[in-house]
Amino acid sequence: MTGISKRFGEVQALDSVDLSVESGTLHALVGENGAGKSTLMKVLYGALQPDSGEVQVEGQRVDIKSSAQAIALGIGMVSQHYGIIPELSCLQNLILGAEGGPVIQLAAARDRAQELAAKMGFSFDWDSDAADLTPAGAQKLEILKLLWRNSRIMILDEPTAMLSPLDGEALFASLRQLVDGGSTVILVTHRLPEVFDYCQEVTVLRGGKLVATKSVTSTNPAELAELIIGKRLEPAESHAETPGDVIFEASELSVKGYRGDLALKSINLKIRSGEVVGIAGVDGSGQRELLHAIAGTVGFVGGSAKLFGRDLTEISAQQRLDAGLRIIPEDRLGEGVIEEWSLVENCALGLQRQFPFSRSGIVLEGDRRTAAGVIADRFQTKRGSLDEPIASLSGGNQQRFVAGRALFGKPRLILAFQPARGLDLAATREVYEAIREKCREGAAALVVSYDLDELLDYCDRIVVLNRGVLSEPGAGNERNPEVIGRLMVGAE
Amino acid sequence: MKRWMQILLLAALGIGLVIAAIVASGSNPMDALSGMLKGSLGTPNAISGTLKETTPLLLAGIAVFLALKAGLFNIGVEGQFTVGACACSVVAIKLPGIVGMLLGILAGIAMGALWAYPAGWIRAYRGGHEVITTIMLNNIAGFLTIALVSGPIKDPSQEGTTTQNIADSSFFPRVADQGPWTVSAALVIGILGAIALGYWLKKAVRGYELRAVGANPTAAAMAGIDAKKIIVRAMVSSGAIGGFAGAIQVLAFEHRFYGNFSPGYGFDALGVALLSGSSAVGLIPSAFLFGILAKGGTAIQVFGVPKGITTVILGVLIVIAAAVRYRKFKAVES
């Protein structure tokens, strides 16, 4: 792939990126969230069309217009979220979309499936429901799906994200075998140990640009982490005033993830009034579960936590909000607003039981409308009438509105999941400064971002989540991007 | 093709279908239409009959509408209506007078609520879809009440599956009762109920929370709302209103309970709620329209037009309403 560029609206997701992968190798593609890895792979898989650049497969220039065409060229992709339909049997899943004719030849399919599985050393109960597969089994089935479609170039996006370490090792053993058999594997990953243990070459992307392609033997984890995160000026020391009372405290807190495994493993965290605490970490390290546990939408399975001095188990989600918890959720459309509702109705969501939105169970329509105006104008939301549905705003403006709502009134703890998502630099600065302002007035904030620069710029303290384990950079390294970067990718 | 053109086309197709059906039955469409209007609105008697049909449709429509606002499709109003009517008749037959009437209403509400509870609980805590569970509960309600009225609560002096009549002293009061004009107070309750529900949904924090659960349960949970609890409550309240409608049907109109009691009010109520334009007050004209079709449908049979034609008209109206309703504004992420 040469000179691949792709722009989404204001964002240059890929800026003239080159990637060349030798056949018969395991090639790692690494970078932070938003570095452009997935976009690049989607271009290769035909799911996205690049604005410019060209793709060559086995020396031939190709113009991949669709995934079907990519598959025909022998390119296959296993995305992070498996495409397995739980209600179908393993065999049905395997052949889905590549049945080879209008009539399904189950017996023949079974023979070929058995042959492919045997070659890989996998075993499947072909007739059992795919719902019964373990994550590792589902991953194996996904790989077989690629083989079924005769893929020679396989893209695996974060294949070990859902696997236990042991299953991860087994996966790489199978990939090794495929590579030895002449296949080419491109591995998109955040985990440096995988790169060093199993890959031959590694390409680093940062901010949509190619940083380097190196042979694994000629680099080391520390150098790679630095390439991923980038050289940064050591930012100024923490600009916090002396932190005050403890607002939130977790001790040995464990939370189950949505897949049933532990997403947070015995974490200890203390947040004091006046502090902006940033959580660094790659996507899916347990940030989501931590915020949901504090918000009260998921329970926890071990340890304990206190919010505003009260045990979390004693206070309902509603009570937490009424006591001053504010949330800028991760998925603003799914969790933050109700699309078809007006700005006026949306401004009260989460605050609906508090003044000035209601009193004694009755909505105060006049006061609510005034508040909606204040919330919308807090970050200059570009909008029509307050009575128009919030779906009429652009994503960035919805984000401004949601951020404005979380900062309305007297918050005591602000949970902000990528508060500047979809905002330009000026607006990002404005939102973070507003959060800091509230913290100077005595609130505290817990901020999740995948952008370490953002956290270094605006947070007083940074903690790192990696695979559900919380760690701190340690004395002297509180704001050392290299140390934090290594913790994020598990290189330390 | 522009959306409004699609809708216009749909409407034209629908009207064409209705006319074709009438012509196929060997009648003049204009005669059928005027016959339907005359039979439902032409005389005081006809209007009284239309209003009588409107009453259960409106009450059951309120039940469907409330559940719909919480994101629940309560197909079970038919069954809740039936068990409510059955329970009310049993109480009112045993206890004559105003006490029997009031306790009969309470029994109807309680049975309706009880009949909806499992569907609400299963939906909230086990993820079983309420459409399936309420359809099953409808079947149970239908056969169970037929069994009861064939044996334990049957009037022994009658051939058919029916209870005794309730005492005149337990009849639900009328607001108009002069010559051909008869209007039950239940209609007034229905109208006030629809207005009150609209007001509650808009002005009460609990109404706001219920709508939030219906529109986006995940966002509602982030806003501190216990969506599961609200789902159960909304289903139970919807069932209670359905049971109330059944009780009223006994006390105000039928004065007894019998096998296959509901001619499908609970199902028509789904149409009433869908045609209300997602406004509680809109339930009133919507129920009235259904009342006209129900009464007028009977009237046009003298022209040789099958009564079923009104069902065709309703079907067409609902499809058009659904097409308009889902013509929702969607923003493009920019």
pLDDT digits (tens, 9 = 90+) for A386-422: 998 898 887 778 889 999 999 998 999 999 998 987 7
The C-alpha of A78 sits at a distance from chain B's nearest C-alpha, in angstroms, of 27
B69, B208, B210: best to mutate for the A interface, most A CBs within 10 A? B208
DSSP secondary structure letter of residue A412: S
In this predicted structure, the answer to whether residue A281 has a pLDDT above a threshold of 80 is yes
Q: What pLDDT score does B334 carry?
A: 29
A446 or A119: whose pLDDT is higher? A446
Below-70 pLDDT ranges, chain B: 1-3, 7, 324-334
Q: Which residue type does A104 have?
A: I
Cβ contact B225–A341 (<8 Å): no
The C-alpha of A209 sits at a distance from chain B's nearest C-alpha, in angstroms, of 23
Chain B contact present for A321, CB below 8 A: yes
Nearest C-alpha in B relative to A327: B222
- B-side interface with A, Cβ within 8 Å? 202-206, 208-209, 212, 215-216, 218-219, 221-226, 328-331, 333-334
The C-alpha of B198 sits at a distance from chain A's nearest C-alpha, in angstroms, of 14
CB-nearest partner of B224 from A317, A358, A389: A317
Nearest C-alpha in B relative to A333: B219
CB-nearest partner of B216 from A338, A348, A358: A338
B203, B205, B225, B229: best to mutate for the A interface, most A CBs within 10 A? B205
Other Cβ atoms closer than 10 A to A123: 11
Chain B contact present for A345, CB below 8 A: yes
ipTM of the complex: 0.82
* Partners of residue A253 on adjacent β-strands: A267
Which residues have a Cβ under 8 Å from the Cβ of A42 and sit 6 or more positions away?
Answer: A48
Query: Under the phi-then-psi rule, with left for phi > 0, alpha for psi from -120 to 50, and beta for the rest, what region is A361?
Result: left
Query: Under the phi-then-psi rule, with left for phi > 0, alpha for psi from -120 to 50, and beta for the rest, what region is A441?
Result: alpha
Q: What pLDDT score does B332 carry?
A: 32
CB burial of B151-161 (b: ≥16 within 10 Å; e: otherwise) equals: eebbbeeeeeb
* Partners of residue A165 on adjacent β-strands: none
Chain B neighbors of A295, CB-CB under 8 A: 222
* Partners of residue A248 on adjacent β-strands: A271, A307
Chain A neighbors of B200, CB-CB under 8 A: none
On the CB side of B227, how many CA atoms lie within 13 Å of its CA? 24
Nearest C-alpha in B relative to A398: B333
Mean pLDDT of all residues in A331-338: 88
Encoded tokens for A269? 């965290």
Q: What pLDDT score does B240 carry?
A: 97
Give which of B275, B284, B308, B286 is closest to B32, Cα–Cα: B308
Q: What pLDDT score does A164 carry?
A: 67
Q: What pLDDT score does B205 carry?
A: 95
Percent of chain A past pLDDT 90, that is, above it, reads 26
CB-nearest partner of A295 from B203, B222, B329: B222
Cβ contact A362–B204 (<8 Å): yes
In this predicted structure, the answer to whether residue A462 has a pLDDT above a threshold of 80 is yes
Q: What pLDDT score does B124 carry?
A: 93
CB burial of B193-222 (b: ≥16 within 10 Å; e: otherwise) equals: bbeebbeebeeebbbbbbbbbbbbbbbbbb
Cβ contact A295–B334 (<8 Å): no
Cβ contact B222–A350 (<8 Å): yes
The C-alpha of A124 sits at a distance from chain B's nearest C-alpha, in angstroms, of 30
Inter-residue contact A14 to A50 (CB < 8 Å): yes
Encoded tokens for B14? 């629908």
Q: Is the dihedral of CA A208, A212, A215, A220 positive or negative?
A: negative
Cβ contact B206–A358 (<8 Å): no
Chain B contact present for A297, CB below 8 A: yes
Cβ contact B329–A392 (<8 Å): yes
Q: Which residue type does A266 have?
A: S
* Partners of residue B182 on adjacent β-strands: B177
Encoded tokens for B109? 């509400």
Encoded tokens for A385? 């009438």
Chain B contact present for A367, CB below 8 A: no
Nearest C-alpha in B relative to A318: B224
d(CA A402, CA A375): 8
Q: Starting from the edge strand earliest in sequence, which strands make up the sheet with A60-62, in order?
A: A11-17, A2-8, A52-57, A60-62
CB-nearest partner of A321 from B205, B224, B331: B224
Q: What pLDDT score does B80 carry?
A: 97
pTM value is 0.76
Q: What is the pLDDT of residues A220-257, one digit of tens each?
A: 888 888 888 776 544 444 555 577 888 999 989 999 87
Nearest C-alpha in A relative to B222: A335
Question: What is the count of residue pairs from A and B with beta carbons less than 8 Å apart?
Answer: 82
Model confidence at A9, pLDDT cuts 50, 70, 90, reads: low
Cβ contact A340–B328 (<8 Å): yes
A103 or B95: whose pLDDT is higher? B95
Q: What pLDDT score does B326 carry?
A: 55
Nearest C-alpha in B relative to A360: B205
Which residues have a Cβ under 8 Å from the Cβ of A287 and sit 6 or more positions away?
Answer: A279, A281, A417, A448, A465
Chain B contact present for A393, CB below 8 A: yes
What three-state secondary structure class fits A27?
strand
Q: What pLDDT score does B329 carry?
A: 41
What part of A 402-461 touches B (C-beta under 8 Å)?
Answer: none
Cβ contact B215–A340 (<8 Å): yes
Q: What pLDDT score does B156 carry?
A: 83
Q: What pLDDT score does B311 carry?
A: 80
Q: What pLDDT score does B169 carry?
A: 85
Kind and range of the H or E element at B146?
helix B130-150
DSSP secondary structure letter of residue B331: P
d(CA B187, CA B174): 9
CB-nearest partner of B222 from A335, A339, A348: A335
How far, in Å, are A270, A353, A432, A480 from residue A484 at the CA level?
19, 40, 21, 6
d(CA A450, CA A48): 23
What distance, in Å, lies between the first and last C-alpha atoms of chain A?
32
Chain A neighbors of B208, CB-CB under 8 A: 345, 348, 352, 358, 363
Q: What angle do CA B123, B221, B208 make, to 5 degrees?
A: 90
Q: What is the mean pLDDT of chain A?
A: 85
Least confident of A38-47, A233-242, A458-467: A233-242
Cβ contact B206–A361 (<8 Å): yes
Nearest C-alpha in B relative to A346: B212
Cβ contact B226–A393 (<8 Å): no
Q: Exposed, middle or buried, B24 (CB in 10 Å: 0-12/13-18/19+)?
A: exposed
The C-alpha of B113 sits at a distance from chain A's nearest C-alpha, in angstroms, of 24
